[in-house]
């Protein structure tokens, strides 16, 4: 049975959107990942761009408010920023909750290439860290 993961961020525009797509891509058949925000802002164009560089199309994804999932169950709720962690409602009780903080690429200043470099760095760090966490979890449960 697939594990369900909810990624939370404040705006559900960048980090949580990338995490959702990366995990659905890398753990296809094992994990169903979704994402939401405490204050959804719309999909970030640069997040779409850096995910496309990996051949992962997120252009059709949309920002969702956390309330869209209040009647659903998850195996893991992973917050990707401190604000979302503090605002994560109690209706997600009984699941494994954790915080994995990553810098917020839209707050980066500099040239276009410098900004995109931060998006790529955060994308790659999330893929590495969240992927390693899930592999460890599955290994501990006798899964892949």
Q: Cα-flanking dihedrals φ and ψ of residue 32, to 5°?
A: -115, 110
Q: Over the stretch 30-46, which tens digit does the pLDDT of each residue have?
A: 999 999 998 899 999 99
Q: In Å, how far are 2, 40, 144 from 17, measured between CA atoms?
A: 19, 11, 24
Residue whose C-alpha is closest to residue 20's, from 70, 67, 74 = 74
**Active site residue ranges:** 9, 81, 88
- The residue segments making up the domain with residue 18 are 3-139
CATH (domain of 32): 3.40.50.2300
Q: Over the stretch 10-22, which tens digit does the pLDDT of each residue have?
A: 889 999 999 999 9
- Counting the structural domains of the chain, the total is 1
Residue 144 belongs to a domain: no
Residue 13's contacts (CB-CB under 8 Å, 6 or more residues apart) are 37, 40, 41, 42, 43, 44, 47, 63, 106
């Amino acid at each position: 049975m697939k594990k369900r993961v909810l990624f939370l961020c404040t705006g559900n525009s960048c980090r949580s959107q990338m995490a959702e797509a990366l995990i659905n891509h890398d753990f296809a058949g094992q994990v169903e990942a979704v994402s939401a925000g405490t204050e959804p802002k719309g999909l970030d164009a640069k997040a779409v761009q850096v995910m496309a560089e990996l051949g992962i199309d997120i252009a059709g994804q949309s920002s969702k408010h956390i309330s869209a999932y209040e009647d659903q169950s998850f195996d893991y709720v992973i917050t990707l920023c401190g604000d979302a962690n503090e605002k994560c409602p109690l209706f997600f009780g009984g699941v494994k909750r954790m915080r994995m903080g990553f810098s917020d690429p839209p707050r980066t200043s500099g040239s276009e290439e410098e900004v995109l470099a931060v998006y790529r760095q955060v994308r790659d760090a999330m893929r590495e860290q969240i992927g390693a966490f899930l592999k460890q979890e599955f290994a501990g449960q006798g899964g892949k």
